[in-house]
Structure 1
């Protein structure tokens, strides 16, 4: 798909990274870069990744640092506002208990996936899920399968609560936003946004929750969504 033009009256955007702005190898599709840089209204990067990843993406794109990281556990609304909303102590306790039960987190010794994580725990999907869910439940946390990792997080925060925070900081309503994503962790964003689009590779929960589903997959789906639905 060719890179679409962005309408001058495009609504604020909340967009996931993995599976939405990337190809099937999780590499950022270069065609999304001019679209995001040309977007005329605020863009919120909403992801399960830890804060440095989406902040760096905003930095290199040259857009304002508006970020929902760790599935709502961390919210960045510009250079002056960082809110930590999750339960870091409980997540650390789950990690310790899971290791004590004989399981690793699956990311190797350096564990760059969790190294900068503030409020939750990410476990590789190759690791056993049932014991992880049992331990998480003991500490009052839930497990969300994003298709890329198991995220152990507080049930009190999600991408939807994060979007509410960022929208309020911007003097906007969550309902003003167009949300685009691909996973069950995008469902809360879909529920509070005014319009939601799931790319065709999305999981069943995201497909069911979205207002629209693209024909194309991954970043092609994002570009299709911009072309078809980026109008107020």
Structure 2
């Protein structure tokens, strides 16, 4: 095998393509376009964010956004979950005194289509109460609480993207750091958690790296590449 046979990647963004301050590591702009197989950005962020990042990175628009609620590959967009139920739950949360915590502009949710995110300072107990009442899942990504339908996940999104690329999900190598990456790890053939990962990602990953943030992602990419050289 040669490096032309390298597997496709499914990469989280926050905590994985970023540095410790939350900025995209500038090395990503050279490393990801140079990878010879498809690169998929799999994130909890609202749909426009990873699409824009694909443009800045100069990689094809292959996106799993909103924790699997939205996928984009080959110019086709797919949706999962139940946005109406999420909106009803969010209204109930607010009616009971809850605050999502982002202020009036709320750019975190303004372009979000399938789920709602709350700042980690929001009332977690009330969010979990509302989630249970509306048969929703509350996901703690370390950056926000995400109120979402249980059938929307990054792992399911990876299955959709793989099918569109005529690939087996087991061909993918996944890198991530958080609870929302566990389903990606379970779906991909090989998975790495960077050192700054949470307990759920640590337990789900095949390998936990000693390097953090994009240093960890680079280490994973180098390990994979070394097996093909």
Please give the TM-score of this superposition, normalised by the length of structure 2.
Answer: 0.96
Deviation at 1:24, TM superposition (A): 1.6
| 1:3 corresponds to | none
Q: Quote the Cα distance in structure 2 between the aligned partners of 1:168 and 1:130.
A: 38
How many residue pairs get matched? 226
Check whether the contact 2:74–2:164 (CA below 8 A) recurs between aligned residues: no
Q: Does residue 1:123 correspond to 2:81, yes or no? A: no
Give the RMSD, CA atoms, in angstroms.
Answer: 1.3
Residue 191 of structure 1 is aligned with which of 173, 186, 191?
Answer: 186
| 2:171 corresponds to | 176
Q: Quote the Cα distance in structure 2 between the aligned partners of 1:118 and 1:16.
A: 19
Residue 218 of structure 2 is aligned with which of 219, 223, 226?
Answer: 223
Residue 140 of structure 1 is aligned with which of 135, 147, 152?
Answer: 135
Question: Residue by residue, what CA displacement relative to the aligned partner does 1:102-155 show, whole Å, maximum 9, x if unpaired?
Answer: 121011110000000111010000111011011011111010100000001110
| 1:25 corresponds to | 21
Residue 114 of structure 1 is aligned with which of 91, 109, 114?
Answer: 109
Q: Does residue 1:67 correspond to 2:46, yes or no? A: no
Divergent runs of 4+, >4 A: none
Any unmatched runs of 5+ in structure 2? none
Provide the secondary structure at the position in 2 that maps to 1:8. Answer: helix
Check whether the contact 2:195–2:211 (CA below 8 A) recurs between aligned residues: yes
Q: Quote the Cα distance in structure 2 between the aligned partners of 1:86 and 1:28.
A: 29
Deviation at 1:62, TM superposition (A): 1.4
| 2:203 corresponds to | 208
Provide the secondary structure at the position in 1 that maps to 2:4. Answer: coil
Provide the secondary structure at the position in 2 that maps to 1:118. Answer: coil
